[in-house]
Structure 1
Amino acid sequence: MNNTNISESRVKSLIQIAVQTHQSGDKDEAESLDQTEVAEILELAVQQQRDNNLLEAEQLYSQVLEKQPDNPEALYGLGMLAQQMGQPEIAEQWLSAASQVQPDSVKTWFSLGNLHLVQEQFSQAEKAYRQALVLLPNSLPIYNNLGYTLQQQGLFEEAINYYQKALDLKPDFIEAETNLGNALHAQGKLSSNQKIYYAQLNNQLGVTRKKAGDLKNAVTCHKQAIALQTNLLEAHYNLALTLQEQGELEEAIASYQNLLELNPNYGEVYLNLGKIYQQQNNLTEAISAYQQGLKLINPHYAKVFAAIQENKEEISATPLLPQGEVQIGEYYFPLIPPVSETEDKRPFWSVVIPAYQRPDYLLESLVSVLAQWSGIEEMEILVIDDASTPPLYQLVNAIGRGVVRYYRNPQNLRQQGTWNAGVTNSRGLWIHLLHDDDYVLPGFYARLKQSLESCPDSVGAAFTGYENINETGEITFRQQLYGTDKGIVSDLLLYVGVANPLNPPAVVIRRTTYERLGGYHPELTSTLDWELYKRITTFYDWWYEPEILVHYRVHSQSMRTELSLSGDRVASIRRSIEISESYLPADLCAEITAQSRKHYFISCLADTEVPLKAGHLTGAFRTLEEILKIDRSAESLAELFTWLRTDIATPVRDEIAFRLISLPLDN
């Protein structure tokens, strides 16, 4: 078996024991077990399963079966786990065993039916659903699923009968009504108006299934909607979008192209095609699609882009950073000078995109900003290329000419130098630093501007909700720190002082804040944003905009991964704690710093696994050295010794033993 701790032979053995125990009626051991303990273990197993900790849940369910071989809840839980792990045959064995032990369990028969239905084993699914219906008559989901199973076997009249029974109980049951329409369509019994109605219903159900993560059935619904109404634009778009999310890129491209035949001016379609071509590393096609999409959705962009057709090689070197420092607490930070006075009106926004060696993600980042660009009077966009090889100019110019200002550092300044260069060369009232592998969602700048235009001068920065995504765009984390109520937040220091809950692409900072407090500390290779946020929170208020307006990408080529391998990330965390200790408010400093040291000791200890898994033992040892500089309390040392006993720490233990053995003996 894959992705599980229990071997296939062990599964069969446990199932056989469960059935034999139940049939023999030998419950002495079961009765001797503390039923409260069993209930607690089962509750914990269910919680682990809900949290997607599948291996932990599996171990807990198996622990129950060791004591109570015929426990139906444990058998059922293991069946559902196997299904989650993509092991339908094993899932069927567990669920079948559960049905023998507890034949009056509706959920077991219903789950068995669902398992067979997913595998298109329609006759077996029908038997399971009928058994569930005997136990629980007038059940909406059983009526619907049984009807669908019969429909797939060509038994339309009987299927329609069950759909009608479901709708008699709940007239707005969309799944049953949609399936009813599809069954009638298969029999040629729908009028033209009915086809349009059921097409929209299928499309609506597809959207619902996609939100629930059921992409396979979402695709089926959208395809059925198109079969009922071939020119239903929303169904074509949703089908292509779902296929794209599934990773079926060629089929998604074909669906988008079908949609463009119906509506050649659908700008969002071109942008989505650009993302697919970008993912396929076909940058030429990606640029072409992005250009067309931007011209269709943004008239400001279209006007400027059409006026500037020449592609001149104009690579401007990043202006030198000014000399000077600002002292905050006991430390000095790079000076950010005020904007020089000119007759030109300053834009509200300066969007600064530091870029280095990632042309694939850079396009998507740029496009997300250009789609919201409303003229140079409103927003300036700067790309600061940190000496990429080859330069990124051609890529930036291909979609940003006439709009984006491109600078290239004469030498690599790394993150801190590039960020300071971008801020220094900006003229906007508010500055947004956007990583070249992240992107903003529609409405980011408009919603923030609406709030920030009227906020008091005490507000030095603002942040929005955000989501983390992986390489393929799948959402892995969601953050709305203060819920859904926007406004000035008063207690952010209690969060930011301890650990960083913010993400740079979700943060905008007033330029005068930089001018007062200075730029990013040059010693910090990581967490330089966190240290600045602590500075800002000490002296300014923050504005919170709750909507999810940014996607932050987490991937194997990210700066964080590189810094974690070397141990630099932990060193920067330790240094950031030391720096902020000199300026945090006196009444909160000791408590916040102590909590921060404790928090990062634990989180950075887990971070040690990154270099260990990569076979980078030097990086792992440096990480441990820095962790011990963060916190050496008795409690933290106990955590370290516990970690050293784990399997992942074996290379560290072996190296420590080798170094001890290699020490010279005193004469």
Structure 2
Amino acid sequence: MNTISSNLQLAVQHHRANRLAQAEQSYRQILAEQPDHPEALYALGMLAQQNGQLAVAEQFLSAAVQVQPDSVKAWFSLGNLSLAQEQFSQGAIAYRQALALRPDSLPIYNNLGFALQQQGLFDEAINYYQKALELKPDFTEAEANLGNALHAQGQLSKEQQIYYAQLNHQLGVARKQAGDLKTAVAFYRAAIALQPDLLDAHYNLGVALQEQGDFEEAIISYQKILELNPHNGEIYFKLGKIYQDQNKLPEAIAAYQQGLKLTNPQYLKAFIAEPGTEKAEEVPITPELPQGEVIVRNYKFPKIPAVAASEKKRPFWSVVILAYQRTDYLLECLASVLAQWTGEEEMEILVMDNASTPPLFDLVNAIGRGIVSYYRNSQNIGLVGNHNTGITLSRGQWIHILHDDDYVLPGFYSQLKQSLEDCSDSVGAAFTGFDNIDEKGVFLSKGDIFYWYGEDRGIIQDWLSQIVVTNPLRPSAIVVRRQTYERLGGYCSELSDLNGWELCKRIATFYDCWYEPEILACYRVDTSWYTNKMSNKLFLTGNHAVFLRRAIEITESYLPTDFCTEITAKARSYNFEYILKRRVIIPLKAGNLTGALRMLQEALKIDRSPEAVAKLFAWLTQDEAAPLRDEIAAKLLAVPGENIPDNIPTELKSPQTAIAP
């Protein structure tokens, strides 16, 4: 196979695997040898368009059609690129060229019709849509576009307008599901133009615009819905989210208040709109709490005391919201819980402010006054301390700890209660399915637990042997029986970001765990994860691996003796590879060789088996490990050599050449 063919094959493999940088490099290597290679020119054009470099994409695609003027896909792609840039006349030219080469292509007829329609050439556009439908009568997109063109000329009856409005809306939904928000927005707008009171189209248009960051346009869509239906509480939640993202907190508060009042009658009764006196309220300070320890087999954990006896009935739920400094998501988090609040007999809500400056009291009270109990620590006691303090202050039978940037979906508490209310005392914790979302609240992926257990509701079988190895859970999806904390203690302060994993392992050692498969919680993922990890001292210094090792060692202290050795060996093997493949690269790429070496030291403390050492040496041969490999070699060479002692046996000494007398 020649160089160009092999490079093309490699480039295509990279492109299909979404390794765009490597694909571009391989395509450019082809052009270095053959500047007019049509496939490389075309592919680079498509890559540039994927990367948002539309001018560069146009250069490559134009070059491709010059080199290969009979390439239908190149002309068609050039037409699509022109449409993306709203260069409709140029797009029509490209589509006509493609159509001359492929006169039976449905997408070309449809897209050419659209390009002409955008120029006001309705008769020609209608002609091409009709030709597409002659070839394929159920070609929905061409049918919808035909309806839009006929409507622009006033040729549709009222009944036809409603029909085509629904058709456009369906196409909008389909395009959004495919991730094409721009086209989805166009279809939603077309649906509304045909049927101005189509609420679903207004709603989905607002959602799509909100996801695109077009907040002002999204607000207009939502306000239109409220004109048509003033009692739609869900829309006020949508508006609250937008105002929160815009940091317009007074507007966000007003929207969330109204949404809660419209959707939750219990909230409407209990919420106190204004303070009871004109005097400014004092910020409540977290009370001093008793400190103690509980021993779980061979290790000590922070003690969680039992709830003091009281005539007041204990609620089923305690929701403990942990907060510190951030106001970006707190209102959304609170609103998601308050929307499901059914009275103090059922649920208490605590906000634990870890000494924020200024305090978050006013913000919490703005939508939670009369319902939410707010506590502010007099000083920052760390995340683990805040966890344990919130648990200690709680009175509920089941505790849900929620970080202020996450939230729950409708049905989280009611559905879990239905499963847990009469469950066996052997169940010490439960969790639901959850979605991973980004900073804007846009769906990224289902939580890993969904792929582990799917839709099998009930007690998880063999849960301990799985959670000891790795943790697929996220805090927003987990609830724990308070008696579990009372018996086993709270979060361990020794483990930094891994304290949640250790607690799950501790609970799994002594209790069953219930799984509710429906997606009922959202966990916010920082999409700048790698950048943040690169600047995070925990990873740069290698300390994350130290905590990982300690989490495994602490768990060994209480695991059942009959399979402790076997299950711990699996955990050590898995987490050795985890450090090697996903963590040591962080300090390494940041140029922190000391941190990278520490990662490897800790990895070997986790697993020193011959198999692990072999994997380490194999990894060190990779290109990415070159700086670390050189550092290790330099350290070995720097080890001082010892002088050869005089008493080495004669037979081991180097032979001497005899000198004649």
- Measured against aligned partners, the alpha-carbon deviations of 1:550-598 in whole angstroms (never above 9, x if no partner) come to 2222336999856445654333222111111233344554444344334
Equivalent of residue 44 in structure 1, options 2, 13, 28 = 13
Equivalent of residue 471 in structure 1, options 411, 421, 439 = 439
**Alignment map for 1:5-154 (pairs within 5 Å):** 32=2, 41=10, 44-49=13-18, 53-62=19-28, 73-99=39-65, 105-154=71-120
Change (3 A) 1:489 1:625: same
Q: Which residue of 2 aligns with 1:379?
A: 347
Helix, strand or coil at the partner of 1:375: coil
Q: Which residue of 1 aligns with 2:646?
A: none
Q: Which residue of 2 aligns with 1:8?
A: none
How far did residue 656 of structure 1 move? 8.2
Equivalent of residue 641 in structure 1, options 591, 610, 620 = 620
1:44 corresponds to which letter in structure 2? Q
Helix, strand or coil at the partner of 1:317: coil
Change (3 A) 1:408 1:57: same
Change (3 A) 1:613 1:298: farther
**Alignment map for 1:211-610 (pairs within 5 Å):** 211-306=177-272, 309-310=275-276, 313-479=281-447, 480-481=450-451, 482-555=453-526, 561=536, 563-564=538-539, 567-586=542-561, 588-604=563-579, 606-608=582-584
How far did residue 170 of structure 1 move? 4.3
Residues 429 and 514, structure 2, Cα contact 8 Å, conserved in 1: yes
CA distance in 1, matches of 2:570, 2:101: 55
How far did residue 213 of structure 1 move? 1.9
In structure 1, list runs of 5 or more residues that go unmatched: 1-30
Change (3 A) 1:174 1:388: same
CA distance in 1, matches of 2:265, 2:176: 32
- Measured against aligned partners, the alpha-carbon deviations of 1:232-291 in whole angstroms (never above 9, x if no partner) come to 333333222222211122332333334333333322222222222222222222222211
1:584 corresponds to which letter in structure 2? L
CA distance in 2, matches of 1:54, 1:34: 18
- Measured against aligned partners, the alpha-carbon deviations of 1:301-359 in whole angstroms (never above 9, x if no partner) come to 11111487537625443344444433334212222233334333332221111111112
Q: Which residue of 2 aligns with 1:193?
A: 159
1:47 corresponds to which letter in structure 2? R
CA distance in 2, matches of 1:520, 1:265: 43
CA distance in 2, matches of 1:586, 1:133: 74
Helix, strand or coil at the partner of 1:253: helix
Residues 526 and 568, structure 1, Cα contact 8 Å, conserved in 2: no
Residues 526 and 563, structure 1, Cα contact 8 Å, conserved in 2: no
- Measured against aligned partners, the alpha-carbon deviations of 1:86-133 in whole angstroms (never above 9, x if no partner) come to 122332344445556666554443323222221223333334334444
**Which deviates more from structure 2 when the two are superposed, residues 480-489 or residues 633-642?**
633-642
Residues 347 and 378, structure 1, Cα contact 8 Å, conserved in 2: yes
Equivalent of residue 630 in structure 1, options 606, 613, 619 = 606
CA distance in 1, matches of 2:242, 2:165: 27
Helix, strand or coil at the partner of 1:434: strand
Change (3 A) 1:403 1:489: same
Helix, strand or coil at the partner of 1:359: coil
How far did residue 405 of structure 1 move? 1.2
Q: Which residue of 1 aligns with 2:655?
A: none
How far did residue 502 of structure 1 move? 0.8
Residues 434 and 522, structure 2, Cα contact 8 Å, conserved in 1: yes
Q: Which residue of 2 aligns with 1:18?
A: none
Q: Which residue of 2 aligns with 1:15?
A: none
Q: TM-score, normalised by structure 2?
A: 0.85
1:487 corresponds to which letter in structure 2? G
Residues 27 and 44, structure 2, Cα contact 8 Å, conserved in 1: yes
1:515 corresponds to which letter in structure 2? E
CA distance in 2, matches of 1:60, 1:498: 39
In structure 2, list runs of 5 or more residues that go unmatched: 644-661
1:246 corresponds to which letter in structure 2? Q
Change (3 A) 1:597 1:402: same
CA distance in 1, matches of 2:511, 2:35: 62
Q: TM-score, normalised by structure 1?
A: 0.84
1:485 corresponds to which letter in structure 2? D
CA distance in 1, matches of 2:564, 2:8: 45
How far did residue 506 of structure 1 move? 1.3
- Measured against aligned partners, the alpha-carbon deviations of 1:437-483 in whole angstroms (never above 9, x if no partner) come to 11112222223223333443333222222222332223334322322
1:634 corresponds to which letter in structure 2? V
Change (3 A) 1:656 1:213: same
Change (3 A) 1:76 1:496: farther
Helix, strand or coil at the partner of 1:646: helix
Helix, strand or coil at the partner of 1:346: coil
CA distance in 2, matches of 1:462, 1:64: 55
Residues 462 and 545, structure 1, Cα contact 8 Å, conserved in 2: yes
Q: Which residue of 2 aligns with 1:16?
A: none
CA distance in 2, matches of 1:313, 1:666: 75
Change (3 A) 1:387 1:568: farther
How far did residue 34 of structure 1 move? 10
Residues 495 and 501, structure 1, Cα contact 8 Å, conserved in 2: no
How far did residue 423 of structure 1 move? 1.7
Residues 598 and 636, structure 1, Cα contact 8 Å, conserved in 2: no
Identity of aligned residues (%): 63
Equivalent of residue 162 in structure 1, options 123, 128, 135 = 128
Change (3 A) 1:347 1:167: farther
CA distance in 2, matches of 1:491, 1:169: 57
CA distance in 1, matches of 2:562, 2:111: 62
CA distance in 2, matches of 1:127, 1:591: 69
Bigger-Rg structure (1/2): 2
CA distance in 2, matches of 1:455, 1:411: 39
Residues 12 and 23, structure 2, Cα contact 8 Å, conserved in 1: no
Residues 203 and 222, structure 1, Cα contact 8 Å, conserved in 2: yes
Change (3 A) 1:313 1:617: farther
CA distance in 2, matches of 1:101, 1:588: 68
Helix, strand or coil at the partner of 2:472: coil
Q: How many residues align?
A: 630
2:395 corresponds to which letter in structure 1? R
- Measured against aligned partners, the alpha-carbon deviations of 1:353-410 in whole angstroms (never above 9, x if no partner) come to 1111112222211111111112122211111112222222121111111111112223
CA distance in 1, matches of 2:589, 2:251: 37
Residues 315 and 346, structure 2, Cα contact 8 Å, conserved in 1: yes
2:419 corresponds to which letter in structure 1? S
How far did residue 166 of structure 1 move? 3.2
Helix, strand or coil at the partner of 2:328: helix
